[in-house]
Amino acid sequence: MSEANFDFDLIVIGAGYGGFDAAKHAAEHGLKVAIIESRDMGGTCVNRGCVPSKALLAASGKVRELADVNHLSSLGIHSAPVRFERQKIADHATKLVSNIRNNLTKTLERSGVEIIRGIGRLEGHQKVGIRQKDGVDRIFSAENVIIATGSDPFVPPGIEIDGRTVFTSDHAINLEWLPRWIAIIGSGYIGLEFADIYTALGCEVTMIEALETVMPTFDVDIVKIASRNLIDARDIDTKSGVLASRITPGCPVRIELSEMKTKKLIEELEVDAVLVATGRVPTSKNLNLDTVGVETNRGYIPIDNSMQVISNDKPIPNLWAVGDVTGKLMLAHTAAAQGTIAVDNILGKDRKIDYRSIPAATFTHPEISSVGLAQDDAKALSEKEGFELGIVRSYFKANSKALAELESDGLMKLLFRKDNGEVLGAHIYGLHAADLIQEVSNALARRSSVCDLALEVHTHPTLSEVVEVAYKQAAQQVVNHSTT
């Protein structure tokens, strides 16, 4: 496909999950591809996100399980007091990161992708500038360019990060020490996962949330059951509706808390450490976006559903953006899916993304997951389109597998259209919720009806029967549903 007058068919800026999948897919389809990376191959997910955090959650989750004397004794098991080595848990994460990073780099090399180490930027239409690590600046031409520069932790004003006593997830994944008392600012999925890790390893946590309630981005019913288990039942104290207006690193770390509404100082805390988990910001500064006329939206690069970058409501030819920098469902699998779709469109296929069927999971013990519409959005859609919204709940306490595990505190909520049975969304809290959601995600991608899904046989005894029960209950409520 390469036109002789371009250096590359495709240049990808950023080798995170989005950039990696795009570059690999393009090279496998015969394109001449270069990928530019300024930091570590694999980006946030591999080096500072999904991979190390899940390694820490795996190890700390085992500690939690082995330390749960009541649960074990109910199963007839008596174990010795559990001991762990923090450094070895940290090493497990580091080794996994390095393995996955090396494999990913080799995969790209084997596919024929040219890896260029340096900082990339646009230099006008179909041109990319690179400031290499050795200081040399080069400019390459490419028929197509994909921006996949990801995101970085957001640190609110007034908070000083020293990387030792006040840090973000970028540092926390190293598990350099275990503070006796740690404040976690933010109760989104990153805050919750680290609260899970720290409490399992014996730390006391204070969770500070600026919005009125903790876990503000989760479904209300899920929050009720999940917060009871993941927060109230643990060594976690919560403060919501308050802003950590100033945080000063040191021993101790000083936190000034202000009332969210009035901004009046209400309390001062002294803790051993603070993890700032207040969201992420797109990495789009210094990309020279103005050379192609792109205006960002709070730093996010606007794209259409084929991943083409938008300027003045029109797609810019040959310029694409994928992953966290676009601000859509900021997850690794979204970035990867967007990367593949961008390349398919470059290859002349007409592919669009379906954000509604992309699942999300929080890997606490137990897990939380969701896919599709939130209840409020489903309600708004039902009012707009004039159909009745169906909501059913299926409980883990009625599931044989969950009961056998003595882990039956769990809930699945399914949202669907009562007129035609179409699945609109699902929210799950409970054992293996992250795996369970995939089935609903696949159904949602096909816009399946609960009437058809209710006929599909599920293995007994498995947790998947929680989903089956939800489908069956929902099917009963669908207008004109036949039970024969």
Ligand X SMILES: Cc1cc2nc3c(=O)[nH]c(=O)nc-3n(C[C@H](O)[C@H](O)[C@H](O)COP(=O)(O)OP(=O)(O)OC[C@H]3O[C@@H](n4cnc5c(N)ncnc54)[C@H](O)[C@@H]3O)c2cc1C
List the catalytic residues. Answer: 460
Task: Verify binding: residue 19, ligand X, rule CB under 6 A.
Answer: yes
Return the range that interacts with ligand X (CB under 6 A); candidates 14-22, 196-204, 386-394, 424-432.
14-22
One residue of 148, 243, 276, 358 binding ligand X per CB under 6 A: 148
Q: Is 131 in the site for ligand X (CB under 6 A)?
A: no
* Distance of alpha carbon 43 from alpha carbon 21, whole angstroms: 12
Strand pairing category for 273-276 and 166-168: parallel
Helix axes 50-67, 189-200, angle to 10 degrees: 40
Instruction: Answer yes or no whether residue 358 interacts with ligand X by CB under 6 A.
Output: no
We find the least distance from the C-beta atom of residue 187 to ligand X, in angstroms, to be 14
Q: Is position 142 an interface residue for ligand X (rule: CB under 6 A)?
A: no
Q: Do 421 and 451 contact (CB within 8 A), yes or no?
A: yes
151 near ligand X, rule: CB under 6 A:
yes
Query: In this complex, which beta carbon is closest to ligand X, that of residue 50 or of residue 205?
Result: 50
The nearer residue to ligand X, 280 or 401, going by C-beta atoms, is 280
> 10 Å Cβ neighbour count for 252?
15
**Interface region with ligand X, contact rule CB under 6 A, candidates 37-45, 135-143, 180-188, 403-411:** 37-45
Q: Give how many residues touch ligand X by CB under 6 A.
A: 37
Sort strands 137-147 and 127-132 into parallel, antiparallel or unpaired: antiparallel
Q: Which of residues 323, 327, 359, 421 is near ligand X by CB under 6 A? A: 323
Instruction: Verify binding: residue 16, ligand X, rule CB under 6 A.
Output: yes
Q: Which of 60, 126, 144, 149 binds ligand X (CB under 6 A)?
A: 149
In three-state secondary structure terms, 105 is helix
The interface mask with ligand X, positions 104-123, x = CB under 6 A, is ---------------xx---
Binding to ligand X by CB under 6 A, coded x per residue (else -) over 411-440, reads ------------------------------
45: left (phi over 0), alpha (psi -120 to 50) or beta: alpha
Only one of the segments 329-337, 342-350, 404-412, 454-462 lies at the binding site for ligand X (rule: CB under 6 A); that segment is 329-337
- The torsion angles phi and psi of 257, rounded to 5 degrees, stand at -105, 130
Q: Cβ closer to ligand X: 149 or 258?
A: 149
Of 207 and 242, the one with the shorter C-beta distance to ligand X is: 207
Q: In whole angstroms, what is the distance from residue 44 CA to residue 29 CA?
A: 26
The helix, strand and coil proportions of the chain, stated in percent and rounded to the nearest 5, come to 35, 30, 35
By the rule CB under 6 A, 13 interacts with ligand X: yes
The torsion defined by the Cα of 301, 307, 310 and 316, in degrees rounded to 10, comes to 120
Rounded to an integer, what distance in angstroms lies between the CA atom of residue 283 and that of residue 441?
29
To 10 degrees, the CA torsion angle through 291, 292, 297, 301? -110
Q: Taking CB under 6 A as the criterion, which residues in 282-301 touch ligand X? A: 283, 287
- Choice between 17 and 300, CB closer to ligand X: 17
Measured on CA atoms in the order 448, 449, 452, 455, is the torsion positive or negative?
positive
Contact between 364 and ligand X (CB under 6 A)? no
What backbone torsions phi and psi does residue 294 show, to the nearest 5 degrees? -95, 130
CA 435 to chain CA centroid, Å, is 15
335 binds ligand X (CB under 6 A): yes
3-state SS class at 142: strand
**By the rule CB under 6 A, 50 interacts with ligand X:** yes
Which of residues 96 and 389 has its CB atom nearest to ligand X in the complex?
96
Taking the least distance from each CB to ligand X, the nearer of 120 and 366 is 120
Q: What are phi and psi of 28, to 5 degrees?
A: -65, -20
Per CB under 6 A, the segment of 11-19, 91-99, 255-263, 346-354 that binds ligand X is: 11-19
> Which one of 1, 2, 39, 435 is in contact with ligand X (CB under 6 A)?
39
Q: Is the peptide bond before 366 cis (omega within 30 degrees of 0)?
A: yes
Q: How far is the CB of 189 from ligand X (least distance, A)?
A: 7
Binding region for ligand X (CB under 6 A): 13-19, 36-39, 43-45, 48-50, 53-54, 119-120, 148-151, 169, 190, 283, 287, 323-324, 330-333, 335, 363
